[in-house]
Amino acid sequence: MREDRADLDQGLGWITFLAKGEKRMVTFRQLEILFGFNYGEGTKWNFKEKELQRVWATIADGVYSSSRSKAAQIRSPVLRYVHKALANTFFARKATGTINEGELKFLDMGIKPFSHAQAMARGSGEIDLTQGT
């Protein structure tokens, strides 16, 4: 494992893990680049309530409420697993029954490229991620 001091100095730290029995390290800066995050910019999400409702209507049943909406309302089993992974890792939650705004925003960012491509392929503005579920 080679630690490049310049990479470490550009970020807030690093993550170490074992992969195939070898110790590996990834800096937060490398993760920013990998996931396309904007380095040094603010972290405030510019989501409006209407946008959250649109996302929820696309993936789940009912009206979204951060205190009442349940992960079980998400129609796609795959998205339910993705939500659980997000809640357990990024939000460090053990109980994943309800879905909070941050988790819904992450789900939206994750499905947006797929939903846009699917809508373009069909030639319509409608988005349906529930096909086959």
For residue range 73-131, list pLDDT tens digits in order: 999 999 998 888 888 887 788 888 888 888 888 888 888 776 655 555 566 555 555 55
Residue holding tokens 């939650």? 93
The pLDDT tens digits for 118-128 are: 555 566 555 55
Mean pLDDT of the residues in the chain: 76
Whether the model clears a pTM of 0.85, i.e. scores above it, the answer is no
Three-state secondary structure call for residue 13: coil
Q: Which domain holds residue 84?
A: 49-123
pLDDT of 133 > 50? The answer is no
Domain count, the chain: 2
Q: Is 3 part of any domain?
A: no
CB 80 within 8 A of CB 71: yes
Taking Cα atoms as reference points, which of 115, 125, 103 lies closest to residue 47? Answer: 103
pLDDT at 116: 56
Angle between helices 101-122 and 77-89 (to 10 degrees): 140
Q: Is 26 part of any domain?
A: yes
Question: Does one domain contain both 23 and 84?
Answer: no
Question: Does one domain contain both 25 and 61?
Answer: no
Cα–Cα–Cα angle for 14, 15, 20, rounded to 5 degrees: 140
Question: Does one domain contain both 69 and 110?
Answer: yes
